[in-house]
Each structure stands twice: as C-alpha cells, then as structure tokens.
Amino acid sequence: MGILRKYLWLVLPIVFFANYAKEATSFETVSGEILMKEATSEWWSNPERSMTFLDSGDVNNDGYDDLLIGFNSFPDREKGWVHDSKPILLVYDPGSKKYKVDTSFRENVPQQIWSRRAIIADLNGDGQSEIFIGGHGSDGLGFPMCGEQNILMKMVDNKWTDISSILPQASDFSHGLAQGDFNGNQTTDLLVINSPYIDASECSGKDNLRNRSYFWGFTNSNDADELKIEVSKKDLNLTNTSSFEEVHSGLAALLDNDEKPDLVFGTNLGLYVLENRGWGKYVRAATFKPPKAFLKIAEDIGCMESSGVCNTPYSDIVTYDVDGDGKVEVIASLAFQRDNGTWTGQHFQVLKRQNKKWKDITSAVFPKQNKGPFDGHEWCMSISIVDLNSDGKDDIVCNSATNMGLREGLELFFLFKDGQFNPLSSLKNETDLQKNLQNLAKKHPVLVSAANLNGTQNLIAIFQLWVDETGKGETIKSFKIRALPLE
C-alpha cells in the first residue's frame, strides 16, 4: 500500500540538470519554464497531487537521456479517487540545452490515477525504446483499492502510439517492476509486480481484477504475451493460489556469474533470492528476514502483523558493487506497516553472494541506520544511484514517498566511501553542494537520478515546491527547470 496518512497540499515539480564539471552557473539559475497546461493538457485544479520520477532513458536515440515523470492525485474527501493525470515525457534538446515537453506523447498517452513504476527500454529488439508505465490506481485512504490498466507506448511513424492493447487487459495494482531476458529470446522482458490488495467485492465496474504478478514479453516485433516462467517459491503472488506472500518489489540482475538474470523479491516478511537454473526456470537460493534492529523499532512503535510478525514491506531493490570485486551486491530498502496500513520507517539491507552462498552484510555497509522518530511519513519509495560529490563513487538517494520535505528521522542522501554508505547529515566534511542539497531537502522533497547527456554523466534532480498562484493553493500554472551545478 504505502499510502500517506495525511492529505498533501499543492506541490510544483522542478527539474534540475548539470554535468559534473565545475561551472559558474548559479544554484538558483532558471533555465526554463513549462506551463502545466503544456505539460499535461490540463490546469491542475486539485491541490492534493504528488509526483514520481519514473525513469530516464534515450527515447529518440540522439545520445541524450530523456525524463519520464508520473503523477498521482490523492482522493477527494467525499468522492474518493476520481482525479487522474497524464505522465510527462521531457525530451532533452541539445540545441537549447533544455528539456522540452514531448507533445506527441502528451497527446496520446492515457491518464492514470497513480503512475508508480516505469521502464524506458527496447522491449522488442527493433532498436527503438518503448515505454511501459505501471500504475496501481486508488491506494486506500478510506476508499477501495481497485487497480488500473497499465500503459505501453511506442513510436510509430514518428508519433507516440498507445499500444497497451497488447498488455494483459487487467486492473493491476503494480508496485514493483524489473527487467531482463527471462526466456533467452534476446529481448528485454518485464516482471510486473502487483501487490495483492484488490477486493473484487468493492470494485464494481472494473474489468479483470486480479491480485497476481506476472512475467511479460514480446514474442516477435509486434506481438507479446505473458511468459511461462517456473518459480519454485510457490507462495509468492505469481500465481492464483489462495495462499501467498505479499510481494511489493523485485530485482532481475546477473548475480551468480552466468548470462541469465537471477531474481530477488521483497515481500512483507523478508527477501527471497531465486537463482536461474536454465532459461525460464528459477529456484530459491536464500531467504533473509528483516534486520532485527529494525524489527525492534517497528514493534516498539506498533505495527500490523502477519502470523505474529511485523509487516516490513520492501519498497525497492538495486545492485551495487560494494567491495569493488567486480560482482554486485543487493541493496534493498524497507519500511514497516502501521496498524492503519500506512508505511513508515527507513532501513537498508545488503546481501552478498560469496562461495556460492548468500549472506547478510548490512551492518558492515550501513553502520549508521536511522532509528527515527518515525511519525508516518518516512520511507523510500525508490532508490537512485548517482555520484553526488564527484568523487568517482556512486552514492544513494532515497526518493522519499512524502511531500512534506526532509523530516526528522528521514535521510535522503547516503555517500559511499571505503565500502560504506553513511547519511549525509552525519558527515563533517560536507561540500557546498552537499550543504545545498541538504538545505533544499529540508523544504522540498527531492527525487534524484543519473542521466547521460551525450556521453557525460549528469545529475537529474526533481524536487517539488509549494506554490500558491491563486492565494488559495488551488492551481498549478507552471513548473521551472533549473541548472544545479555540481562541483
């Protein structure tokens, strides 16, 4: 679920970009402004909206990464989840050095209530990127959770076209997404992870309601279908079994030194590592419970339980070569679920494969974990990997689910040095950039990712700013694109 307990006031998205070389550009220099009407074909009249950085990728093969931004509208207090929005595709223009709204995408992409995960990738092997957007529709707050149709966009005859008809026609509740070649046909497949919260009895008028995750991929350049993948852990919600563990996040990566992707699932009760045993076949290799220190925090505050154990949903899973041996480790973010269903809390867990066995190395990699206090807003919706201080080592950004700015108990930036990640606030030798990021985050939520602009790695930071254009906080008229110089 991962919903926020309180309604959120009007926010304004702002996008930053800069390359890693020193520049004279002011921290507050405005390099562009885009009208909300231009971006989404609508004036935003509902103040309770938020945004998500979905993905970056080169959609037009020009060597520059473009940005995909999703939105969600919180429910009307009386009518429920009635507001939806179009995702925004911002395409980089090297001539003007600015991001501009892709009007073809805007005109043809469907609206969603909550765009949660997305991937920009060549899914059918034709050399052109498709865009998959997973949404989950309404997310509680006193109203039924009924899912929504996922989206697939493709460029056809120089125009973005909605080809969602080749996706499963279902009301999905997509919280997680992973990509990899799962069946060995040399194309990128998807693992769409749907949290099993849909109650069909409360969702009249919705078609094909289901509570299971699935593998999906192209069978040729134009056709696609769900893939038949064998998974030995039967109680993960990958099938329509009556008993299953709730999966919220997943990872597909080369973890055991062969050319076939392995899988990691984050559930309410722990992490499951599944290694491949041939194309399309996976067996469980290891199971890890949440760190005891975090479970103690959850129990002391009060948590929703399953089988007498605190629910600790894993929100995102990434890879990182922590020890520099050329083999990636697994880093997962987790929260815990309060009695009222909301997610809160911030913790990381790290797994390493060594001598064909998996072990938990969390305490060595994250020596300083957050202990709170947690008041219901602190958790990482996603993890971004980007070099924040230009030392040649990638760092971690917690893309927060909250729109309330940096709160006590929530750390957004973790810098990597000597095999460890430490929260930015704990470091004494902060650079001017780090101070700027920290000060900015105290007022506005920050979503950060990396982007490639013609071979140069760049920092892409999206943060949201409270704006009151009417004096009543009811309308967003524009958002600005600014340059954020790195050292």
Mean pLDDT of 69-74: 76
Instruction: Out of 3.40.50.300, 1.10.40.50, 3.40.50.2300, 2.130.10.10, select the CATH number for domain 12-483.
Output: 2.130.10.10
Q: For residue 306, how many other CB atoms are within 10 A of its CB?
A: 15
Q: Share the mean pLDDT of the chain.
A: 78
Token code pair at residue 476: 């967003």
The reported pLDDT for the residue numbered 233 is 72
**Residue 287 scores a pLDDT above 90:** yes
The region, left, alpha or beta by phi > 0 then psi within -120 to 50, assigned to residue 440 is alpha
Per-residue confidence at 24, pLDDT binned at 50, 70, 90? Answer: very low
The reported pLDDT for the residue numbered 282 is 93
The reported pLDDT for the residue numbered 305 is 87
CB 410 within 8 A of CB 346: yes
The reported pLDDT for the residue numbered 293 is 92
For residue range 309-345, what is the model confidence (pLDDT) as tens digits? Answer: 889 999 999 999 999 999 999 999 999 988 877 888 8
Mean pLDDT of 66-70: 86
| Structural domain boundaries in the chain | 12-483
CB 368 within 8 A of CB 347: no
Per-residue confidence at 447, pLDDT binned at 50, 70, 90? Answer: low
CB 397 within 8 A of CB 316: no
The reported pLDDT for the residue numbered 485 is 41
The reported pLDDT for the residue numbered 53 is 79
Mean pLDDT of 66-92: 79
The reported pLDDT for the residue numbered 471 is 46
| SS percent in the chain: helix, strand, coil, step 5 | 10, 45, 50
CA 486 vs CA 20, 129, 384: distances in Å: 5, 29, 17
**Residue 4 scores a pLDDT above 90:** no
**Residue 350 scores a pLDDT above 90:** yes
Query: SS3 of 162, please?
Result: strand
Rounded CA separation 432/36 (Å): 32
The reported pLDDT for the residue numbered 48 is 56
Measured in whole angstroms, the distance separating CA 202 from the mean position of its chain's CA atoms is: 28
Query: SS3 of 167, please?
Result: coil
**Residue 127 scores a pLDDT above 90:** yes
Backbone angles phi, psi at 356, to 5 degrees: 70, 15
CB 406 within 8 A of CB 444: no
Q: Note the helical H segments in 291-441.
A: 292-301, 362-365, 432-441
Residue of 3 and 467 predicted with greater confidence: 467
Rounded CA separation 365/358 (Å): 15
The reported pLDDT for the residue numbered 465 is 46
The percentage of the chain sitting over the pLDDT mark of 90, rounded to a whole number, equals 37
For residue range 416-443, what is the model confidence (pLDDT) as tens digits? Answer: 999 999 988 788 776 666 666 666 555 5
For residue range 172-204, what is the model confidence (pLDDT) as tens digits? Answer: 888 889 999 999 999 999 999 887 777 778 887
Residue type, 324: G
The reported pLDDT for the residue numbered 474 is 45
**Residue 160 scores a pLDDT above 70:** yes
Residue of 101 and 77 predicted with greater confidence: 101
